[in-house]
Structure 1
Amino acid sequence: MPPSGGWTADDLDSIPGLPSHTEMIDGGLFFVSPQTDFHMATLWLLEYALRTHVPEDLYVVREMTTKLGERDRPEPDLMVVPRSARTGSNQTSYDPKDVVLAVEVVSSESVDRDRIVKPRKYARAGIKNFWRVERDQSGDQPMVFVYELDPSTRTYAVSGIFHDQLKVTVPFPIAMDLKLP
Structure 2
Amino acid sequence: MTALPDWMRPPRREGWFAEDLDRLPEAPRHTELIDGALVFMMSPQRSWHGRLVTALTTTLMNQVPDGFEVEREMTIRLDDRNRPEPDLLVTRTPYDPDRTWFAPEDVELVVEVVSPESAHRDRTVKLQKYARAGIPHYWCIEDEGGAPVVHVYELDVPTMAYAPAGIFRHALQRPVPFGIGLDLDKLTPGGKG
TM bracket, shorter-chain basis: over 0.9
Cα-to-partner distance string for 1:68-125 (whole Å, 9 max, x where unaligned) = 01100000100001143x4x32210000000010000001011100100011000000
Normalization by structure 1: what TM-score?
Answer: 0.94
> Among 154, 157, 175, which residue is 2:160 paired with?
154
> Among 6, 18, 21, which residue is 1:9 paired with?
18
Say if 2:105 and 2:135, in contact at 8 Å, map to a contact too: yes
Runs (4+) off by over 6 Å: none
Separation in 1, partners of 2:58, 2:138: 17
Separation in 2, partners of 1:64, 1:45: 17
How many residue pairs are counted as aligned between the two chains?
177
**Which consecutive residues of structure 1, in runs of 5 or more, have no partner in the other structure?**
none
Partner of 1:101: 109
Cα-to-partner distance string for 1:7-62 (whole Å, 9 max, x where unaligned) = 10111111352112100000111112321011012112211221111111110001
Separation in 1, partners of 2:98, 2:25: 17
Separation in 2, partners of 1:55, 1:135: 28
Q: 1:160 to 1:20 in 2, by over 3 A?
A: same
Say if 2:93 and 2:106, in contact at 8 Å, map to a contact too: no
Deviates more, 1:17-26 or 1:70-79: 17-26
Partner of 1:177: 183
SS at match of 1:123: helix
Separation in 2, partners of 1:105, 1:22: 16
Residues 1:120 and 2:152 aligned together: no
Residues 1:20 and 2:29 aligned together: yes
**Which consecutive residues of structure 2, in runs of 5 or more, have no partner in the other structure?**
1-8
Over the matched positions of the two proteins, sequence identity in percent amounts to 49
Separation in 2, partners of 1:90, 1:34: 27
Normalization by structure 2: what TM-score?
Answer: 0.88
If you compute each CA radius of gyration, which structure gives the higher value, 1 or 2?
Answer: 2
